[in-house]
Structure 1
Amino acid sequence: MERRTLLKMIALLTGGVVIGGNAFLTGCSSSEEHNLKARLKLTSQQVAFLDEVAETILPTTQKSPGAKAAKVGSFMTIMVNDCYEAPDQQIFLDGMDKLDAACKKMHDVGFMEATAEQRLVLLTAIDKEIKEHMPQNGQSPNHYYTMFKQLTLLGYFSSEIGYKQALRYNQAPGRYEGDVPYKKGDRAWA
């Protein structure tokens, strides 16, 4: 028996609509467009580029490794492939070229050839520009740098390096303590 037929029978027997039934039915469609989601095919150089962008956003410090050590570039690729719609995937992909072009315009070298200081100056300027042009309601069209930054933070702090070395990690925290002493410079809890 086909899933579509089964869902229709369940709906008839229960006298109502199956919650989420549309998702089940569209999952049964035979349309190639619906079944095949666009996938980014990033080269190892592009993943290395994303690692360097992430490392500039969250660099290695004396206390913890940076985003590059957490392989955030590979994480970004997976998230963009699995979670972003095709238009956002294109914004992300085009953003790598735009970021490289902006670096060449500002520093006369590509992003990968730029020094850590040059990269930081560039990303700080782009971040400032985005914040200045954000509408009052806080909603703005997706910007490639915002995507890079959000995925960097998500990838890093959900990695083992992020939650065990950058944050204070307690595998079995025990009881809830609402008032924990805090000293300036303490790491947040994972």
Structure 2
Amino acid sequence: MNRRDLLKGIGLTVGYAVATPSILSLLHSCTNEAKTWTPIFLSPDQGIVLTHLVDLILPTTKESPGALDVNVPEFIDLYVSKSYTNKEQAKFKKGLSSILNALSIPEEGVSALKNEDYDALLAKYLKTTKTERKAYKKGSEDFIIFNTLKGIRSTSIWAYKTSEKIGKEVLAYDPIPGVAKGCISVDEATKGKAWSL
């Protein structure tokens, strides 16, 4: 299976039906310098909020780079602008606007928000029980925020795992697989790492 077929399969399993060349160009078109990023679809405030949320969802650790190291916010912005329908784009923007409202932005602006503010928001919505989630009425602010955060989390993980840096440096990578060995442990096969291909 080549990389093109793999990305197409990954996209379809996550629920994204996009032409494979488009995904490949998106994966490689994100700028390498995160500080120079200017959102093309999102507003600057929405870009700041997305960046902080993604950084908390997939932070940098001693063992692995974080989402910001592989430009996940830039990818999400580009992916939404190129792949979502107008209706999906409007829904995503509405969700981010609801998130901005829930964050209680200080007078100084979005830049003055602290990690604790974002962390409290993520904990409030993504660490809820099934019963608490069922209490959200469809169309309510809580329902919209929960679904938007859940979507950001799943898209971030997908973008992170399909980035070249993570595929080659963090996950087990073998561009030309050798002999298939059945019935061996993951520790023996890849030292406990998942396969990137």
Query: C-alpha separation between the residues in 1 aligned to 2:166 and 2:114?
Result: 24
Q: What residue identity is the alignment partner of 2:87?
A: P
Give the TM-score of the pair, scaled to structure 2. 0.60
The CA distance in 2 between the partners of 1:146 and 1:75, in whole Å, is: 17
Amino acid aligned to 1:58: L
Structure 1 residues 162-184: Cα deviation after superposition (integer angstroms, max 9, x where no partner): 2223322222222222333234x
2:78 maps to a residue whose letter is I
1:58 aligns with 2:58: yes
Moved more, 49-58 or 66-75: 49-58
Q: Assess, with a 3 A threshold, how the Cα gap between structure 1 residues 186 and 108 changes in structure 2: closer, same or farther.
A: farther
Q: Which has the higher helix share?
A: 2
Identity of matched residues, %: 26
Question: C-alpha separation between the residues in 2 aligned to 1:127 and 1:114?
Answer: 19
Q: Identify if the C-alpha distance between structure 1 residues 114 and 178 changes in structure 2 by more than 3 Å, giving closer, same or farther.
A: farther
Aligned pairs for 1:110-189 (under 5 A) are 112-129=111-128, 131=130, 132-134=132-134, 143-183=147-187, 186-189=192-195
**Relative to structure 1, is the Cα distance of residues 115 and 41 closer, same or farther in structure 2, using a 3 angstrom cutoff?**
closer
Q: For 1:177 and 1:169, how far apart are their aligned partners in 2?
A: 16
For the 8 Å contact 1:52–1:112, the answer to whether it is kept is no
- The verdict on how the C-alpha distance between 1:114 and 1:44 changes in structure 2, with shifts beyond 3 A counting, is closer
Aligned-residue CA RMSD (Å): 3.2
May I ask how many residue pairs the two structures share in their alignment? 145
Alpha-carbon distance in structure 2 between the residues aligned to 1:113 and 1:178: 54
Aligned partner of 1:57: which letter? I
1:130 offset after TM fit, Å? 8.0
- TM (norm. structure 1) is 0.61
Larger Rg: 1
Q: Is the 8 A contact 2:45 2:110 kept in 1?
A: no
Contact 1:100 1:110 (8 Å CA) reproduced: no
Which contiguous aligned blocks of 4+ residues in structure 1 show a shift greater than 6 angstroms? 107-111
Any stretches of 5+ residues in structure 2 without a counterpart? Answer: 1-39, 136-142
